[in-house]
Structure formats: structure tokens, C-alpha cells
Amino acid sequence: MKSFFRNALMILLPTTLIISCNDDDSNGNPDGSSPEAITPAEVQTSMEAEDVSGDIDNVVDFMVVADLGDTSAKSDALASKGWLPDCYTISTEATSDSFITTFDFGEGCEMPDGKMLGGMLTLSYLKETDSTSHTRTSEVTFENFTVDSVTVNGMKTYQHTFSQEENPMSSVVTDITLTWEDDTSMAVSSEKTREWVEGFDNGTWGDSAFLITGNASVTNREGVVFTSDISTPLRAELSCDHLVSGVIDFSKDDATAQLDYGDGTCDDKAMFTGTDGETVEITLEKK
């Protein structure tokens, strides 16, 4: 009888250990470890790449909406040379069904916000544009194009809508690679919507403001992927070096974090909430 109970115990013991181990694994990674927390530095690095992408969106929005505006009652307020400096050249080629416009920034052309653009940006779109809502779908590609010495490759696709009754809108699908002077690179894939809420009717860069929604995936220099979702619309005022309000939720594997840009004040502060739920104030790097 004792032998019977001893054998039964030997059978049950490994089973108990397996169940116990499985329970422990359910609270973390498959190897039983906890998710590696997202740090403020990692979030700032991810935003560094998204900021470069946003710089391109700013310029393209000005160019396209100014052109669309030429066919509307707001054309006088949207003269393109009132938006951007005259240190770039424009050439347009027409095919049977499309226009291809190349913006050549040469060795360097300083934008109103101090950003230095170089190389060429090519914008192509079909001749058939919706004249009722002034909607245009455009593809943007790059040739030796740089933003402050960061080289941009890849493509952006825009759908711009401009009507008399509503603010200019753009939907942007991004798939680009950014390379820094030290040969390190990051990749950005995103889908965002930008509403031009202020400044589009007076021709002044610094008066312009955008509300931005959407999501993104950034692969950093180490090959780590960070995804982000804008849970509260971001407000970008082109007179400010940083976003002034809005909330972004970040994730990396099973770890999460949040960045809150505040109440609309133009400053270099944001509130970072980490995986552990602790919130700290961080200083943003200049874009």
C-alpha cells in the first residue's frame, strides 16, 4: 500500500510543477520574465523619426493646398510663394493622364521654421481631380532629399481635400527610411489625418496649426519596433518647436507607455507615463 501511494505521488508531482510553471508564465514573457519597460529616451528617439516625417507633411500640405486653392474662392489667400521661401525651383511635366511636379531645394533651402531642406521631392497626381470637393490624391517620392542632413527615401501618399465650407484635410500614408550622417537609420510606417485648423487663410507659416490623428510604427536604430496610437489629437503649431497638446500611447512587445504634451502651452515639456504607471516630466529635444 505504501508503495502504491509513493508511485502515485511521483506521477502527480511533475504534473503539479508543470501547471505551476504555466501559471507563472501567464504574467510575463514566454520565458517567465517581465516585459522590458519603455524608457523616455526610447520614446523620444521614436518621435525624432516621426518629427522628420511631419516636417515633410508640413511642406507638402502648403504646396498642394495652395495649388488646390487656385481653383476656389480662397485662391488669393493661398498663393504658394506667400507660404514658402523662394530658394527652391519647380518644374512640371504632363503625361497623358497625370502631372509630375518636382521641387528642387538644391544644396539647401531654409524653411520658415529654420529647417534646411535639400535635394528633390517629386509629387505626381492624376489630372482628374474632384472639382466639387477639390480632392487630390498624390504620391511623393524623394531623390537625394534631406531634412537637416537626415536623408529620406521611400514614399508618401496623400489625399488632400479642400472645400469652401471645411478646413483643409489631408490623409497621409507613410513608408520611409531615414538615414543620419553616422549611417544609422530608422524606418517609419504610419497612417495619419491632418486637419489644418488655423492659418490657412492668411498666408503666414507661423500662424498655421494642425490637428493630427492616426497611428505609426517606428523601427529604431537597434531594430526594435515601437507602435504608437494617438489617443487624443495632437496639436502642431508651426510657430512652436514642439507639439503643444495631445496624447500618444506607445507599445513595444507587451510593454506600454504614454506621452502627454499638455494643455496647449508652447514649451519643451511633456508628461511620460511608463509601464509601471509612474508619471514623470521630461524635457523634449528640439526638433
Residue 19 placed within a domain: no
Number of residues that this document lists for the chain: 287
**pLDDT band at residue 260, thresholds of 50, 70 and 90?**
very high
By the 10 Å C-beta count (0-12 exposed, 13-18 middle, 19+ buried), 23 is classed as exposed
Average pLDDT over residues 11-24: 43
Residue 248 placed within a domain: yes
Residue % of the chain over a pLDDT of 90:
61
pLDDT at 132: 61
- Tell me the pTM: 0.83
CA–CA gap between residue 149 and residue 286 (Å, rounded)? 15
Contact criterion met (CB below 8 Å) for 279 and 272: yes
CA–CA gap between residue 238 and residue 186 (Å, rounded)? 24
At 207-253, the pLDDT tens digits run 999 999 999 999 999 999 999 999 999 999 999 999 999 999 999 99
pLDDT at 109: 94
Residue 198 placed within a domain: yes
Query: CB under 8 Å to 167, separation ≥6 — which residues?
Result: 195, 196, 197, 200
Contact criterion met (CB below 8 Å) for 245 and 261: yes
Residue 11 placed within a domain: no
- Nearest C-alpha neighbor of 266 from the set 245, 285, 283, 282: 245
Average pLDDT over residues 53-72: 78
Query: CB under 8 Å to 216, separation ≥6 — which residues?
Result: 50, 174, 188, 189, 190, 191, 192, 227, 228
At 147-193, the pLDDT tens digits run 999 999 999 999 998 877 789 899 999 999 999 999 999 999 999 99
Domain that holds residue 165: 36-283
Residue 216 placed within a domain: yes
Q: How many domains does the chain have?
A: 1
pLDDT above 70 (res 3): no
Residue 119 placed within a domain: yes
pLDDT at 131: 58
pLDDT at 175: 98
Residue 24 placed within a domain: no
Residue 21 placed within a domain: no
**pLDDT band at residue 15, thresholds of 50, 70 and 90?**
very low
